[in-house]
Amino acid sequence: MRLSEKLKLLADENVPRPLVHLLRSRDIDTRWVREIERGMSDEAVVGIQIMEEAEAILNKGEFYPAKENYRRAQEHFENLRDFAVEHRLEREKSEIDNLIEDCTANIRVCTDSLLGRQRVATARVRKVDDLRKGIRVKTGVKRPGEDKLSKLEKAYPSIRYLDSGGFGEVYWAQTREGQTIALKVLREPERHEETYFKELAIWRNLVHRNIVKLLRPKYHPMPLFEMEYVDGGDLSSLLKESAPFSPERACRIAFDIGRGLECAHLSNAVHGDLKPRNILLTMTEEVKISDWGLGKVATSSSRGVGYTPGYASPEQIQKVAIDKKSDVYQIGVVFYEMLTGDNPFDHGSREEKDEKVLTLVPQEPSKHNPRIKPLDDLVMSCLEKESGNRPGIREFREALSGYVKENYGILLKVTGQPRDKLGILCRNAMFAAKLNDHKECVAALKDLRSLLSENELKDIVRNLMYATELRQKEELEITDEVLNEIDGVLRQVEYGQS
């Protein structure tokens, strides 16, 4: 039975509800669930076959029909993603999102080729054989880390390859207790053993909601980290899809990055490799900073042993002592990219990128968007070549919150469809809570409650209002528990997740 037929069954009111319950339950291993997973995989293969057809046409130089085929594949995957979202299949949704991203990128390549930029564009084609993520496809292609799967499957009942980084591979997994987690596994344990222990020494002391949570390190069946699974992808993918961001969106993401870095800096830790790929996002776009493998304890002799071209600070390229201001430089680069859609240092060869970092003074962000003129000084101060001229991370965060308050009064204008309004109000409440602004948080929650129709959600929001008002009277900070509750409401509003 194909997935489309299963979907019709699920829509049929006569189908026993326990079957639907089993479908939604990710911790019950039933034949029905396995059938659905196989159906999802089969449907993914259909979409990938359409991509292969498009690839063959593109190789012949027929850009327009190739583009149309990629659009067909994209539409197929989008339908599949809707099914995954509706039935809370988080793992499958993440995999399908990666395939949609590949289709989107290749559609852009075809468009560029049609406009006469063929030589440059075709170099960026995402080929089916090069898919780094996603549903297992019967192509005979051996993905990175596949040799390790047999060992890992003995420890984790359900596991899938997600991605590769500088030192290891990342997997989605479920524990025997049914907990969904991510695994970071060293690619070459003998070669990167020192990196593993260095990352562990830094990461285990960093506990903050804007830093990926290290659950526990393990040494068997191989050196790995069990860590929090973040369900919204990374900032790099988001930038490819929709850069430049609106100023409000860029500020909120940059503010979260700043909060996470401030926690690290208070522990005297430097990240050293802040870039979009290492900034993970939840489905509600809350930041989780990952990959502390190049991190270090800040001392007068701390020197970088590696860096990412285009995102490295000048002192990393010069191989001199680095400190917390190197992270400030990198958050400046990421913020610039979110606001303008471009990283001015990330063009050309490695040597050319390094030279740009050392010598290029980019245009102010407002040259791309006059609306963000008030942010020019903050962004450009982060990009100063001399680290002593850059602000500290707390200064960066406070300047950013001052800008948002002055220009938006924290509470962004509530417009659009009812669901959009609810989402904006949830984000307003979340941002105000992170600023510890009780009054604005309560105002957003009050407006949110007035628009909600579901009694259970209304009760949750009412309790949040009371808890925040009580904390205001007692002059207490707003806790992560409150933020978790707001995030839970936002997930229910936007994704129907409980």
* Residue-wise burial string across 198-216, b where 16 or more C-beta atoms lie within 10 A, e elsewhere: bbbebbeebebbbbbbbbe
Tell me, rounded to whole angstroms, the distance of Cα 442 from its chain centroid: 28
Q: Write the DSSP symbol of residue 2.
A: -
Name the residue with higher pLDDT: 2 or 112: 112
Give the tokens for residue 273.
């490799």
Q: Which amino acid is at 250?
A: A
Q: Which of 192-196, 232-236, 308-312 has the lowest mean pLDDT?
A: 192-196
- Residue 460 near residue 430 (C-beta atoms within 8 A): no
240-408: CATH homologous superfamily? Transferase(Phosphotransferase) domain 1 (1.10.510.10)
pLDDT of 13 > 70? The answer is no
pLDDT of 26 > 70? The answer is no
Confidence of residue 17 (pLDDT cuts 50, 70, 90): very low
**Separation between Cα atoms, residue 185 and residue 164, nearest integer Å:** 9
Q: Is the C-alpha dihedral spanning 71, 77, 79, 85 positive or negative?
A: negative
The pLDDT value recorded for residue 221 is 80
Note the pTM of the prediction, 2 decimals. 0.70
Domain 147-228 belongs in CATH node 3.90.650.10: no
**Separation between Cα atoms, residue 456 and residue 485, nearest integer Å:** 13
Give the tokens for residue 371.
């609306």
The pLDDT value recorded for residue 14 is 47
pLDDT of 304 > 70? The answer is no
In this structure, the strands spanning 269-270 and 214-218 are: unpaired
Listed residue (251, 247, 269) closest to 260, CA to CA: 269
pLDDT of 45 > 60? The answer is yes
**Separation between Cα atoms, residue 254 and residue 375, nearest integer Å:** 12
Q: Please name every residue paired with 337 in a beta bridge, in sequence order, or none if there are none.
A: none
Residues 143-169 have pLDDT tens digits of 444 567 778 888 898 888 887 766 778
Residues 372-430 have pLDDT tens digits of 999 999 999 999 999 999 999 999 999 998 888 787 655 545 555 666 778 888 888 88
Name the residue with higher pLDDT: 75 or 125: 75
The pLDDT value recorded for residue 123 is 45
The pLDDT value recorded for residue 497 is 62
Give the side-chain half-sphere CA count within 13 A for 429.
30
CA angle, residues 238, 195, 133, in degrees to nearest 5:
35
The pLDDT value recorded for residue 23 is 41
**Separation between Cα atoms, residue 487 and residue 482, nearest integer Å:** 9
Q: Which amino acid is at 169?
A: E
Confidence of residue 18 (pLDDT cuts 50, 70, 90): very low
Listed residue (278, 280, 331, 330) closest to 304, CA to CA: 330
Listed residue (76, 73, 70, 77) closest to 113, CA to CA: 70
Confidence of residue 27 (pLDDT cuts 50, 70, 90): very low
The pLDDT value recorded for residue 83 is 79
**Separation between Cα atoms, residue 152 and residue 93, nearest integer Å:** 22
Confidence of residue 81 (pLDDT cuts 50, 70, 90): confident
pLDDT of 78 > 70? The answer is yes
The pLDDT value recorded for residue 19 is 40
Residues 247-270 have pLDDT tens digits of 989 999 999 999 999 999 999 999
Confidence of residue 361 (pLDDT cuts 50, 70, 90): very high
pLDDT of 32 > 60? The answer is no
Residues 434-454 have pLDDT tens digits of 988 899 899 989 988 888 887
- Residue 376 near residue 410 (C-beta atoms within 8 A): no
**Separation between Cα atoms, residue 224 and residue 289, nearest integer Å:** 18
pLDDT of 119 > 70? The answer is no
The pLDDT value recorded for residue 415 is 53
The pLDDT value recorded for residue 373 is 94
Q: Which amino acid is at 240?
A: K
The pLDDT value recorded for residue 30 is 44
The pLDDT value recorded for residue 334 is 98
Average pLDDT, the chain: 81
